[in-house]
Amino acid sequence: MTVSLIASACSDAVAPGYPASPLRLVAPDGTLTDLGRAADIDPDLVRELHRDMARARCLDHAALALQRQGEVSLWLMSWGQEAAQVGSIRAVRDSDMVFPSYREHAAALCRGITPAELLTQWRGHRHAGWDPTAHRFHIYSLVLGTQTLHATGYAAGAAMEGTDEIVVTYFGDGAASQGDVNEALNWAAAAGLPILFFCQNNQWAISTPTTTQMRTPVHRRAAGFGLRTYHVDGNDVLAVLAVTGEAAARVRAGDGPALIEAETYRLAGHSSSDDPGRYRTQAEVELWQGRDPLARSDALLRALGTPDSWFDQLQDELAAFGDEVRKACRGLTGPGLADLFGTVYAEPHDALDQERHDYLRHRDALEAGR
Ligand SMILES: Cc1ncc(C[n+]2csc(CCOP(=O)(O)OP(=O)(O)O)c2C)c(N)n1
């Protein structure tokens, strides 16, 4: 995509000249906006992004069904937010450290985290299922907003080491009301840290709409802290990719932190335990179904000449992926009690080794007595 074009469009989005509406390249019906028409759209790239999003939606469907079957305790759907996640994660380097919230499954899949690793936590087996260092993707943070402070501290360390690594952190509109997020924004701006804050404004914090909990949009508040800010249509994967690419380049170049507010929508409930019909209207849901990120890239791809056979092949691939998710989940086994001793310290620890030894002796004695 023509980066200079996006960069000049983004410059309108920088405080204090906020655009009235978020930056968009592709309209909800899949047609290109004026900015999109002027950009150099690569069909292969759109196909890759569409596939990433479709895999995430497939995972959500399978995981929710598994929860209904009692195989998973809880699941938080990323349904509707795939473009915000895929567009942003694909715009940064795989080596850039990411601190997610708890529903960034589409981003996690793009980082190579497997369905089994993702489901481990929600099946109740472990605190987290993947190695954050290997994937450069921290474990999920269920305590709202804490990850933004962890990320800011990490970015302070990266800045001291003088690498060109940047840090990305995801959070929601509800988390933006937390003190932690505001501390993180202020600290990052004051210290000029290499961090990109990515807010998925999905319009709801469980049953509280953004209209109730804020008078000033998140990106405008962030500008007040001194960050470079962007406002993008979070259901337009190409716009998110372009804006994140521009923002990440500025952060990497040493221009200080940035914040992107992506307007999106949580199409499903807050979690598998939530009934969103209790607090939002069907008319609102239908409005946002008309802005579905996958329907949008699907329509764009067809307009760009992608043949039906490509979509058929993708459907086959997704059917196999769904099977893989179900098999991986049912194959997961929880840790034994003895395993817990191995996850306390990174280095060997004499007292803990003794405790493990005592536990195993006790367990073996009990089993021998049966
Ligand atoms: C510190 C803290 N307070 C409250 C909660 C309970 N809680 C869990 S999710 C949530 C809403 C979060 O909304 P948002 O940040 O918009 O993210 P979304 O779930 O919509 O992705 C709340 C209040 C929590 N997990 N942590």
Residue 141 parent element (H or E)? none
> From atom 7 of ligand 1, which residue's Cα is the shortest distance away?
144
pLDDT at 277 over 70: yes
Residues 215-266 have pLDDT tens digits of 999 999 999 999 999 999 999 999 999 999 999 999 999 999 999 999 999 9
Left, alpha or beta for 78 (phi > 0: left; psi -120 to 50: alpha)? alpha
Q: Measured in angstroms, how far is the CA atom of residue 148 from the centroid of ligand 1? A: 13
Sheet holding 167-172, edge to edge: 97-99, 167-172, 195-201, 258-263, 228-233
Residues 66-100 have pLDDT tens digits of 999 999 999 999 999 999 999 999 999 999 999 99
What is the number of alpha carbons within 13 Å of residue 333 lying toward its C-beta?
A: 4
Looking at 3.40.50.970, 1.20.1250.20, 3.20.20.70, 3.40.190.10, the CATH number of the domain 3-334 comes to: 3.40.50.970
| Cβ-based neighbours of 197, under 8 Å, separated by 6 or more | 148, 169, 171, 184, 185, 188, 222, 227, 257, 258, 259, 260
Q: Measured in angstroms, how far is the CA atom of residue 174 from the centroid of ligand 1? A: 6
Residues with CB under 6 A from ligand 1: 103, 142-144, 172-175, 202, 204-206, 266, 270
What percent of the chain stands above pLDDT 90? 88
The domain limits of the chain are: 3-334, 338-367
From the alpha carbon of 205, which atom of ligand 1 is closest? 13
Residues 188-224 have pLDDT tens digits of 999 999 999 999 999 999 999 999 999 999 999 999 9
